[in-house]
Structure 1
Amino acid sequence: LYHAAVHPKSFVSLAGADHLLMDKKDSKYVGEVIAGWSSRYIDIEEDITLATRHNVVASLNNDSLFTTQMRAGNHYFIADEPTSIGGNDFGPNPYELLSSGLAACTVMTIQMYARRKKWLIENVECHVDYDKQHAIDCENCEESSAKIDTFTREIKITGDLDEKQLQRLLQIADKCPVHKTLHSDTQVVTKLVR
């Protein structure tokens, strides 16, 4: 097979794997290697099953556990749940996606502001965790209902900036649109379509 293959090729060894690739890590790795290699030689058509007139669409079949096909704009990806609750862990869970939106919007907003001010930021990172925690200074902290959705955000800025500039950028982080959305009164309008 190696000598008969027409396209450029290389030999990939997978020490310790059986011929049927029964170990999930081995089969996933082989799939990624083959997909990466073959993507150069095939045209992947747009998935019309996820066509939508909206910004985002999610699709989940009955036999897919929690592995959800997603499309946002022109971008396709997978959302999932961890194996500990019955998913395949093939993609981020919904709260990781929400946290990702906050992290991405934060770094974009900081860089946009710094460029406007002509402050050079070599890199900005935003690390986000999501959890339900007791509200600060809550009166009924013993009750589980006193817990609120909490995003913990840590920002690392690499650049030649003084303390005043860094503090200003921290204020700007709180002005990112996703941060504002999470703090605003929001509504989800739902209707059934056929």
Structure 2
Amino acid sequence: MITSSIKYIHPLKTNATHNRSGNSLITDAPIDNNGEGAYFSPTDLAATSLASCMLTVMGIYADQNNLELGEIKCDLQKEMAANPRRIKVITINIDWKTNLPENEIQKLKNVALNCPVSKSLHPEIEQNISFKML
């Protein structure tokens, strides 16, 4: 099954539709690459996918093990390299308020750090991940 369909919209935007749900999103080229920066850029989505994947697999693990994940959110920063133009560094700061025992926290951190998106990104992309326990 086709996962998504993407259509180019001039100038420098795309509209991507998730075929199963019909949900869609728009991307725009970033300001530093001839765009308006009005929407997520494709590289913004790549970086954001890493954080979303980490939190998702943590939730899956917690559900499968009857654990209460607690409150968890994160902020990320993406840094670009020039030659070639690519994502250079993704920094994710995770704020986590939980009552889980330390051994479960460590298991969940490991699950997050080994999520499918993390393992799919090019090894030259530096991933700086920090967990701040609240």
Question: RMSD of the alignment, in Å?
Answer: 2.7
TM-aligned CA deviation for residue 172 of structure 1: 1.0
1:180 matched residue in structure 2 = 119
1:65 is aligned to 2:4: no
Shift of 1:131: 2.1
Instruction: Output the CA distance in 1 between the equivalents of 2:58 and 2:35.
Output: 35
Structure 1 CA distance, aligned partners of 2:66 and 2:42? 36
Runs of 4+ in 1 over 4 A off after TM superposition: none
TM-score of the aligned structures, taking structure 1 as reference length: 0.52
Which position in structure 1 is the counterpart of 2:106? Answer: 167
- Kindly state the Cα deviation for residue 160 of structure 1 after the two structures are TM-superposed: 0.8
Q: Supply the distance in 1 between the matched residues of 2:108 and 2:122 (Cα, whole angstroms).
A: 19
AA partner of residue 68 (structure 1): T
CA pair 150-82 structure 1, distance change in 2 beyond 3 A: closer
Asked if the contact 1:67/1:90 (under 8 Å) is kept, the reply is no
Structure 1 pair 183/174, CA: closer, same or farther in 2 (3 Å)?
farther
- Which structure is higher in strand share? 2
Percent identity of paired positions between Structure 1 and Structure 2? 23
Match of 1:108 in 2: 56
Give ranges in structure 2 of 5+ residues lacking alignment: 124-134
Cα separation, 1, equivalents of 2:104 and 2:122:
25
- Paired with 1:69 and 1:152, the residues of 2 have a C-alpha distance of 27
Q: Which residue of 1 aligns with 2:75?
A: 127
| Contact residue 78 and residue 87 of structure 2 kept, 8 A | no
Distance 1:92-1:148 versus aligned 2 partners, 3 A rule:
closer
Q: Secondary structure at the match of 1:60?
A: strand
1:55 paired with 2:29, answer no
Give the CA deviation at 1:127.
Answer: 2.7
Which letter maps to 2:98? G
- Aligned equivalents of 2:6 and 2:33: distance in 1? 20
User: How many residue pairs align between the two structures?
Assistant: 119
Higher relative contact order (CA 8 A, sep 6+): 2
Match of 1:96 in 2: 44
Structure 1 residue runs without a partner (length 5+): 1-52, 134-143, 185-194
Deviation at 1:129, TM superposition (A): 2.3
Aligned residue number for residue 97 of structure 2? 158
Structure 1 CA distance, aligned partners of 2:114 and 2:51? 13
**Which structure has the bigger radius of gyration?**
1
SS at match of 2:121: helix
